[in-house]
Amino acid sequence: MVPAASTHLVFRFSADPIRIFRSLEDYKGDVFRDGVAGGMRSAYYVKDVASRACTVGASLQIGACEAVFGVPASELSDRHVALEDLWGKAARALGQRLQETSDLEKRLQLLESFLAKRLPRALEIHPAVAHALARFSACADIGRVVRETGYSHRHFIHMFRRNVGQPPRVYTRLLRFQQTLQHGIDKGGKRWIDIALEAGYADQAHFNREFRDLAGISPGEYLANHRAIRHVPIPGQFRSRRGGIV
């Protein structure tokens, strides 16, 4: 799973648990029996998909994490946490209701209704953070954007991490990476390196190095093997200590 600039949650309906590994070198991993929340990540992670399972989940808009989960986005960054640890009995009750509902549309409605009840009428993002989020899509100069807010660099970073989950440097890196992935898939005759240069990468070496840091594979390997924008199968390359191939 290549990283994305968002927080997500998922419920799984299967006898097999959710198994997640922090990297290709993590042979132990973490096991989640039912629901799990994942924070914004600064690099890829590995998910066991050896057995088929039905899941339902959601990606949260920036600023929704604390309202939905009751903890700042920074506490979930680069982590997966059991929903039961965040919601207690409410997570088990929701999971049971979703399990008992066979209709996929009704499952989505149940989850959406549950999340909507936890959200205020308007998400409370600090105005300085909201300003930076709007500016970062067009301005790569983080220092300049921070100065525009009128806050000290240190104080702004604290506010940004609380709302977003990662510091501005990581967030803008993920944003540029996501945009390049999407444009690379939809390139329509353009060379991917040209798309990368337009996104702000200095040169081919910079693009390749950052791509491997974030995705764990090269751009060529990604294009040849990806199934969806964030999913890349690695059959035969990763074997857990329990003997199963991920």
Q: Which strands, in side-by-side order, build the sheet including 46-47?
A: 30-32, 18-21, 46-47
The pLDDT value given to residue 192 = 81
Structure tokens at 141: 């100069």
Q: pTM (2 decimals)?
A: 0.85
CB atoms inside a 10 Å sphere around CB 127: 9
Q: What is the 3-state secondary structure (H, E, C) of 112-144?
A: HHHHHHHCCCCCCCCHHHHHHHHHHCCCCCHHH
> Among 1.10.287.70, 1.10.287.130, 1.10.10.60, 1.10.260.40, what is the CATH number of 127-225?
1.10.10.60
Q: How far apart are CA 206 and CA 226, in angstroms?
A: 21
The pLDDT value given to residue 69 = 94
Q: How far apart are CA 173 and CA 20, in angstroms?
A: 23
What are phi and psi for residue 148, nearest 5 degrees? -60, -30
Residue 74 and residue 33 in contact, taking contact as beta carbons nearer than 8 Å: no
Domain regions of the chain by residue span: 7-118, 127-225
Picking from 54, 176, 67, 167, the residue whose alpha carbon sits closest to that of residue 108 is: 54
The pLDDT value given to residue 112 = 95
The pLDDT value given to residue 146 = 95
pLDDT in tens, the chain (246 residues): 999 889 999 999 888 889 999 988 888 899 998 899 999 999 999 998 877 788 899 999 888 999 999 999 999 999 999 999 999 999 999 999 999 998 999 999 999 999 999 887 666 789 999 999 999 877 778 999 999 999 999 999 999 999 999 999 999 999 989 888 888 777 766 788 888 888 888 888 898 999 999 998 888 888 888 878 888 887 555 444 444 444
